[in-house]
Amino acid sequence: MTPVKIRTQKALLACGILSAALYAATDVLGGMRYEGYSFTSQAISELMATGAPSEAFVDPLFIGYGVLALAFGIGVFREAAGRNRALRMTAALLIGYAVIGFSGPTLFEMRPRGTSGAGSDLPHIVLTAALVVMMLGAIGFGAFALGKRFRIYSLATLLTVMVFGALAAPYGARLAAGQPTPGFGIIERVNVYATLLWMAALAIALLRRSRYGGATRASATATPVQGYVAPGFEEVRAEFERNFASRGEIGAAVAAYWRGEKVVDLWGGRRTPTTSAPWREDTMVVVMSTTKGLAAMTLAVANARGWLDYDAPVARYWPEFAQQGKGAITVRQLLGHEAGLALLDEKLTVEKLRDHDYVARVLARQKPAWPAGTRHGYHAMTIGLYMQELIRRVDPSHRTLGRFFHEEIAEPLGLEFYIGLPREIPAERIAVLRLLSPGRGLMAIRYMPFATLMRMLVPGSLLRRSLMVVELDMNDRRSLEVEVPAGNGVGTARAIARAYSAFAEGGGAIGITAETFAEVTTPAEFARPKDEVLGLPSYYSLGFLRPGPDDSFGSRRAFGFLGAGGSFGFGDPEARLGYAYVMNNMDFYIQGDPREVALRNAVFAAIGRLADRPAAHASAGDPVAREGVAQPSAV
């Protein structure tokens, strides 16, 4: 399928979401403009009744709904493409539903309550019955067109419509006689909105399937997976290939080090969403908040050298921080996202971010949103800026965090990962992201946690505001060259996995002491797991994300961080594992992205099988002491 045809098909399927939204908006807005109209007792169809004050406003919107519903039906029919009979029948019924529905606003209007005059409501009732039957048929066939979860949802929708349809039946005589019908409006709206929501859910499911189909399968075939897996880890390669075949991957890489040795190093797909440029061995990508875990390693190095005490007040190292009652906030509280400093009182542009002294003044004057230690909430962008200034203050050379990381961690371990991308690295090595967008967000409704979704939608929420404190475009080179340790690190999966592996092995390679290692890896206790910003349970300690009952990624001693869109890196001392996954097709999973989880589970499964055979996983001649691979074998 050509790119133009793909875009056209997705636009047709998106009409299912738009049509449902337009119908609901027309119902609400039309009723607001219809003097004397009651949502609880009158039918939606009465908005179109002859003489209604809002008729001129409502009729075009309902016609627009019909056009969108017809386009959606055509999109569903094209998606079936002769392969799925149940989906084809669903499409045919949706098209019939839309075509017949066009006649409603003009030919078969319903009389307003309390009026007499010529005509009867019978044609409108017959038309409505036909539309209901067609929609029920579409839902019924749709239940068998997709997977098990959609089948359960469709059958639940059918049950809802039938139950509330039975409740509406006694109102028939009152409707025909033009008598008051208290409560009928609520019953009708439950039925109508249930079917509208089903249409939107079908559109989302098909959009996701379309996105994970044709074009991505072709790209995976055109650009085979390459790299290395040690004996026993072949299932990781198989899951990585499945990501391209059926989970919507565009370009990605995954790496794992076990017991200090590299056992997985795979890459594949396309470096950009819109071209055929391949993802190569040395391709790097911005990993969003996965950067936070690597930034936290710099503070661990500072702690190991005695420069930074986690339990000391931040103001000991940064006196200006004490403004606005922050004098008692400890480094531990700040790094645990407990300081209430997720927001800034001004937006920081790229030019402002270049001036570290200016950023420090902005940070120091912020007022906490809650008393430190009483609750916690994700400091999406600010936490990295605070870590940056702490490193600048405690480092005897006053290096920036990005430079500190490069000199004290990246160089000793041979990593290619940067917080502040050097200008000499060519653009051809940097993957282009398929960024998140409101339109794509509509497709994520079915799996994004409701509490987080609501916070994303409400303009004044802490989450929305916390994401807007810096002005960055992650596909703009200028945004990658400044240092934003909370989210703009650029590198390879190999580098991230190697860094976590070195730390999980005790950290001796980067000067981590036994005391600091114990601080970072001791299982943490969380008295208040609910995150005030995300609305979900979350677990942070010393700058790292930690496993919890609601989000487990290894043993309780594991530590790491995941990034917006799906990237993830972590270390697990119990398993002696360093792991990382990076990609350029960003998705909306807050946790548990199926692409990453499949790879991680495959890695742990392999370790479980090989744990009693310590030498079985090693590959002869495989250079594992550093990040790079001399001659990785093609997979």
pLDDT digits (tens, 9 = 90+) for 275-285: 999 999 999 99
Domain ranges of the chain: 3-211, 285-590
Evaluate if residue 273 carries a pLDDT over 80.
yes
pLDDT value at residue 615: 42
More confident residue, 404 or 180: 404
- Closest by CA to 203, choosing from 478, 12, 487, is 12
- Record the tokens describing residue 526, joined without a space: 């969380």
pLDDT value at residue 407: 98
Query: How confident is the model over 424-434, as pLDDT tens digits?
Result: 999 999 999 99
User: Are 307 and 516 contacting, i.e. CB atoms less than 8 angstroms apart?
Assistant: no
Weakest mean pLDDT among 124-128, 167-171, 420-424, 628-632: 628-632
User: Are 386 and 334 contacting, i.e. CB atoms less than 8 angstroms apart?
Assistant: yes
Supply angle C-alpha 48, 50, 53, rounded to 5.
75
Q: Which residue has the tokens 């995150």?
A: 531
Per-residue pLDDT band at 161 (split at 50, 70, 90)? confident
Evaluate if residue 22 carries a pLDDT over 60.
yes
- Closest by CA to 337, choosing from 527, 538, 521, is 538
Weakest mean pLDDT among 181-185, 354-358, 440-444, 456-460: 440-444
Per-residue pLDDT band at 311 (split at 50, 70, 90)? very high
* Distance from C-alpha of 370 to C-alpha of 357, rounded to nearest angstrom: 26
Average pLDDT over residues 556-578: 97
pLDDT value at residue 494: 98
User: Are 304 and 512 contacting, i.e. CB atoms less than 8 angstroms apart?
Assistant: yes
Find all residues with CB under 8 Å of 177, minimum gap 6, and list them. Answer: none
Q: Which residue has the tokens 């890196």?
A: 569
CATH number for the domain whose boundaries are 285-590: 3.40.710.10
DSSP letters along 239-265, please?
Answer: HHHHHHHHS--SEEEEEEEETTEEEEE
Q: Report the percentage of the chain scoring pLDDT > 70.
A: 80
Per-residue pLDDT band at 451 (split at 50, 70, 90)? confident
Evaluate if residue 513 carries a pLDDT over 70.
yes
Q: Is 166 helix (H, G, I), strand (E, B) or coil?
A: helix
- Record the tokens describing residue 122, joined without a space: 């019978």
CB atoms under 10 Å from CB of 116, counted, come to 7
According to DSSP, residue 391 is labeled H
